[in-house]
């Protein structure tokens, strides 16, 4: 498949994702399933192109709209893909220009290199190939294509220079300045404003821009090694022997990070439950505890059980872990994963409903735990490298709804903690409202709880976080600073 067709398929998929409320990865899988003629390397190019475009959508959209403003698209196309070509094709091309022209030293997408491997020919004149594709698909002249490319570059420089000037200003930022930053770093302006204007965790504008730009990049594939069953070095040797590049995680002693996508289900080390797919930031939640054998743990919002499995491994399968969730489908997946990993210390419990809890209590069911982990449902802004549509769909009203629900969940599940027990609250959010704000409100409303420092447990688990102070009981992890997904972790103790 030649470049014009590849870009056309990318534009089509981009439009489908933008118009749907379904997860982008599921839409992409269905798209490729229906188009079996698209080969694996072609799928890789189209997927990376589309997800890169989603990550920087606001930047690419604003620039392409400007670059198109003096080009008359006379031929509106007569096939079924006409609207995606008119609306999305210029955005797709703009993403390619930005990636190849302005992010050479640290690329978030390498279209030229993928195309070289795909078409098996040198792409030194990749920009000319892009221009030709632009003329073919939009049916415009070469001069129009050249003008479009020139205007894209000019506008990017304008946004970039203006943003740097704004960042360097030592005074409050106007709405127009925030809008410029929002476009250049492709994140909604209201999110930028909340990052830099909250009273508790106020960050400087340059830090906010670094945070936003880190979300341009795809998240790496990371696995957690079940250290009670196999060493990390042995796992890495297995992949190294198969010419698969990987490295140790920087923080978690059980993290292995791959440099490219790997079909893990082809390896016995995965099929036998010796490793689990889990971002390094997510691993840091369980590592905030040092659960000894026999300790009774409630994983209150367990989902598919990544943290329950990690806790079972930390306890060497010698504890009691009760995994609760409202989603039965996820709990079934947890059962399967626990069986595969050989952990029988994990039990399923249903305590999300207070009425059911009261019935259990009447029957003598003991509902007091040494540790309660509340990994609360959230906006997911810390995972937008993987699910980029999250940042475009979120709005302030939804954020406030998340905050209210999180405080309610934390308050509800804290009742199951014994005196002297440890409470962990975590999210995969980059928003203060879902993190520090929830913890502060909880502590105000629940004086029987107090902060409990994180550092000791981390050090016992072999984790060193340089910025973490002795008395810190809250931790923010981010792609910009730590290379993992964005996570928030707070540790409290019942008096």
In tens, the pLDDT along 272-310 reads 999 999 999 999 999 999 998 999 999 999 999 999 999
State which fold the 280-494 domain adopts. Rossmann fold (3.40.50)
pLDDT tens-place string over residues 198-221: 878 878 999 999 999 999 999 999
Residue 119 has pLDDT above 80, yes or no: no
Per-residue pLDDT band at 364 (split at 50, 70, 90): low
- How far from chain centre, in Å, is Cα 215? 8
Which pLDDT score is estimated for 366? 61
Question: What is the model's pLDDT at position 117?
Answer: 76
Place of tokens 């994140």: 187
Q: Are 318 and 293 in contact (CB under 8 A)?
A: yes
Q: Which range among 78-87, 288-297, 446-455 has the greatest average pLDDT?
A: 446-455
pLDDT digits (tens, 9 = 90+) for 219-233: 999 999 999 999 999
Give the number of other CB atoms < 10 A from CB of residue 420.
9
The domain limits of the chain are 3-183, 280-494
**Sequence-distant (≥ 6) Cβ neighbours of residue 180 within 8 angstroms:** 159, 162, 163, 166
Question: What is the per-residue pLDDT for 350?
Answer: 85
Asked if the model's pLDDT at residue 153 lies above 90, the reply is yes
Rounded Cα–Cα distance for residues 399 and 490 (Å) = 19
pTM of this prediction?
Answer: 0.93
Tens of pLDDT, residues 398-421: 999 999 999 999 999 999 999 999
The per-type count for the chain, helices as H runs and strands as E runs, is 22, 12
Q: Report d(CA 434, CA 402) in Å as an integer.
A: 7
> What are the Cα distances from residue 420, in Å, to 73, 368, 413?
69, 11, 15
Tell me how far apart the alpha carbons of residues 327 and 335 are, in angstroms, rounded to a whole number. 13
pLDDT of residue 89 exceeding 80, the answer is yes
Predicted confidence at residue 76, as pLDDT, reads 47
Cα torsion through 357, 361, 364, 369, rounded to 10? 70
**Three-state DSSP state, 247:** strand
- Confidence category of residue 78, pLDDT binned at 50, 70, 90: very low
Percent with pLDDT over 70 in the chain:
94
In tens, the pLDDT along 1-41 reads: 889 999 999 999 999 999 999 999 999 999 999 999 999 88
pLDDT mean across residues, the chain: 92
Rounded-to-integer distance, Cα 133 and Cα 85, Å: 12
- Predicted confidence at residue 77, as pLDDT, reads 46
pLDDT at 360: 64
């Amino acid at each position: 498949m030649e470049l014009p067709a590849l870009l056309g398929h990318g534009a089509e998929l981009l439009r489908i994702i933008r118009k749907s409320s379904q997860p982008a990865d599921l839409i992409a899988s269905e798209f490729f399933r229906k188009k079996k003629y698209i080969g694996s390397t072609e799928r890789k190019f189209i997927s990376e192109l589309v997800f890169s475009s989603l990550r920087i959508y606001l930047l690419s959209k604003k620039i392409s709209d400007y670059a198109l403003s003096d080009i008359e698209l006379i031929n509106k196309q007569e096939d079924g893909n006409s609207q995606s070509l008119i609306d999305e094709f210029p955005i797709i091309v703009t993403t390619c220009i930005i990636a190849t022209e302005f992010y050479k030293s640290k690329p978030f997408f390498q279209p030229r290199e993928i195309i070289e491997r795909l078409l098996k020919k040198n792409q030194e004149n990749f920009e000319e190939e892009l221009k030709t594709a632009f003329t073919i698909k939009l049916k415009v002249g070469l001069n129009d294509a050249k003008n479009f490319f020139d205007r894209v570059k000019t506008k990017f420089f304008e946004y970039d220079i203006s943003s740097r000037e704004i960042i360097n200003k030592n005074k409050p930022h106007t709405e127009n300045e925030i809008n410029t930053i929002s476009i250049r770093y492709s994140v909604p302006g209201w999110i930028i404003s909340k990052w830099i204007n909250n009273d508790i965790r106020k960050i400087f504008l340059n830090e906010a821009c670094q945070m936003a730009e880190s979300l341009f990049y795809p998240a790496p594939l990371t696995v957690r090694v079940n250290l009670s069953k196999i060493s990390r070095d042995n796992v890495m040797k297995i992949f190294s022997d198969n010419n698969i590049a990987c490295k140790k995680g920087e923080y978690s002693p059980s993290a292995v990070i791959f440099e490219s996508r790997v079909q893990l289900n082809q390896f016995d080390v995965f099929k036998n439950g010796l490793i689990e797919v889990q971002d390094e930031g997510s691993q840091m939640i369980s590592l905030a505890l040092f659960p000894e054998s026999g300790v009774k743990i409630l994983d209150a919002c367990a989902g598919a059980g990544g943290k329950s499995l990690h806790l079972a491994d930390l306890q060497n399968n010698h504890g009691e872990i009760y995994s609760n969730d409202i989603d039965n489908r996820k709990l079934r997946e947890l059962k399967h994963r626990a069986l595969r990993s050989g952990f029988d210390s994990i039990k399923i419990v249903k305590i999300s409903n207070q009425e059911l809890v009261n019935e259990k209590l009447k029957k003598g069911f003991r509902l007091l735990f040494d540790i309660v982990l509340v990994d609360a449902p959230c906006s997911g802004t810390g995972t937008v490298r993987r699910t980029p549509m999250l940042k475009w769909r979120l709005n302030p009203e939804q954020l406030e709804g998340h905050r209210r629900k999180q405080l309610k969940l934390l308050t509800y599940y804290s009742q199951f903690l014994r005196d002297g027990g440890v409470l962990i609250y975590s999210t995969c959010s980059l928003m203060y409202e879902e993190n520090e704000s929830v913890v502060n409100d909880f502590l105000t409303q629940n004086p029987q709880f107090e902060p409990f420092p994180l550092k000791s447990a981390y050090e016992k688990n072999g984790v060193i976080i340089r910025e973490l102070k002795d008395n810190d009981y809250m931790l923010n992890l981010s792609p910009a600073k730590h290379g993992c997904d964005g996570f928030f972790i707070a540790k409290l103790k019942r008096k």
